[in-house]
Structure 1
Amino acid sequence: MCSNNKMDIKIFTGNANRELAEKICKEIGVELGNSVVSTFSDGEISVDINETVRGGDVFVIQPTCPPVNENLMELLIMIDAFKRASAGRINAVVPYYGYARQDRKTKARDPITSKLVADLLTSAGADRVVSMDLHAAQLQGYFDIPVDHLVAVPILAKYFKENNLIDKDTVIVSPDIGGVRRARNFASILDLPIAIIEKRRPKANVSEVMNVIGDIQNKNVIIVDDIIDTAGSMTKAAKVLKDFGAKKVYACCTHAVLSGPAIERIENSVIEKLVVTDTIPLPEDKHIDNIEVMSISPLFAEAIKRINNNDSVSKLFDK
């Protein structure tokens, strides 16, 4: 039930993914807030908020994608600006949460950078964080403020169903043991079996496939992951599935970071089609034939409306 004291929705964005922010505004039916985020000649970030936000329910849409540190600083400075301008509530909408993979100590003297970023957002003045497919769901516990955690699996699964890319013999594949729950959720939507690639990762951005658990012989497969960065793991996994007898290999992920040689690797791989979301903008200077982008703007728009109305966000996933 809506409160009589409901605050006006005010949506702003930095430079990380303006197109996504505009799509979300269109879905909600509000104008994107008037703000300018630029840099001084020495590289310092300048933020100008050109309208009143006093008492408003402010949503700052800013994934911390590459350039990660610049986009993170933009977000922190914007939050600080809104706090000092007496915003009623400040919601950091971070579709892609950078540094999420640095979530634990794997060796002596490692930082836990994802916890540090959570502390920075809180200290800057955020009252709530809205994100999608955190690398590890327990990252929500790093925050001392509410976190609404959205998932992209239903959107990605819908693409394969609507485009007739699945049949009763299709198998959903988790690229590692850690992603089994995600693959199982994806498979349950489509009522399909799963397989698992067993591998070890000797160092960052390097993986070695060891075995495939499950029956993929003469079957089409869909690899489901949360992040594709350099695409080394994904393209190697696709090749191994082919070597183990898979017919066609499709892949999907929520966050298409696609850094370094990623795009070239995907184009030269055995992957028939890669389906991603628009949490991160794809490079504008490259045409990528075998990558399909699904927009998560309707889901974020509905979440923002529910947060503003003080309604349940979890009910989005009951449908």
Structure 2
Amino acid sequence: MADSFYCTESVNACFDELECNATNNEFERIECFGSGNSMVSAIQSEQRIREMVEKQIQHLPRHDYLKRLRCGALDSKFRRDAIDWISKAHAHYSFGALSLCLSMNYLDRFLSEYHMPMDKSWSVQLLSVACMSLAAKMEETEVPLPIDLQVEEPKFVFEPKTIQRMELLVLSRLKWKMQAITPFSFIDYFLTNITVEPHEPRLSLFKSSQLILSTIKGIDFLEFKPSEIALAVAMSVSGVVQAADINKAILAFPYMEKERVMKCIELIRDFPLIGGSVPQSPVGVLDAACLSYKTEELAAGSCGNSSSSSHDSPDSKRRRLDRDHERTHKTE
């Protein structure tokens, strides 16, 4: 493999703070968690949902993570490149939706806690492989060997022991809390309790899962907790569009913060390329992810809390998208 090489000693700097040894016994701790966080699971009780709402903060990045991404203190391109690689590996092995969600959760939590050498191109791939490998061990029944996870003709090929050391570093920084609470932990419950239109459960769950995966790839939705994203997605997919219906639906869950859920719903409404509603096809939902990446670049110049740059308001973006849409139709 002429343009690839095995990375061993060049990555040792990543592990300077690692205090444990990567042994087989250590990694058995991952397996014992099982896969109780499955997307298609028994409907949770309200008490269980309340408990997860309270505990979800334990599975989030540090509170200043989003601000650091927007201000450039952290390289948002590093994050995008990592997610792109994770998504390719996820698609290559046809892993479940939750594996992808967990991978991105591990990535964000780790980057918020640990300074990676972001000027080194190998570090993106090494961290990505480790996060995808850990997520697969949590959720998949068949897990490829670490060497086989390095798909799409990688420029660097890491030895299994190097990947294992990176995994252990991630585990130690995340304090072994790998069965993370994600939007998928709540989506079944919310879909069941707010549906206002006749629907096919599997289709609603599929639409919700695709929308969740699309939104969390960009940085804008890092502002929200998993339960808030899940409730906003469930209402969008279930056809709750009128202000009165939205208000009534949110009030049915008194443990949720109304203003934050409303803000998340508005962000989802602006999310599709030609907005106003949730895309009706999986292709439409996944295409919408392109927009979330663009908003990262717009927000990078500002440290404010808004989801878009002050130089490019949502109205101006919509007008530009409308013009592009008109030009497209004229050329057809």
Q: TM-score, normalised by structure 2?
A: 0.24
Q: Give the number of the structure whose residues are more often strand, by fraction.
A: 1
Q: TM-score, normalised by structure 1?
A: 0.25
Q: Give the number of the structure whose residues are more often helix, by fraction.
A: 2
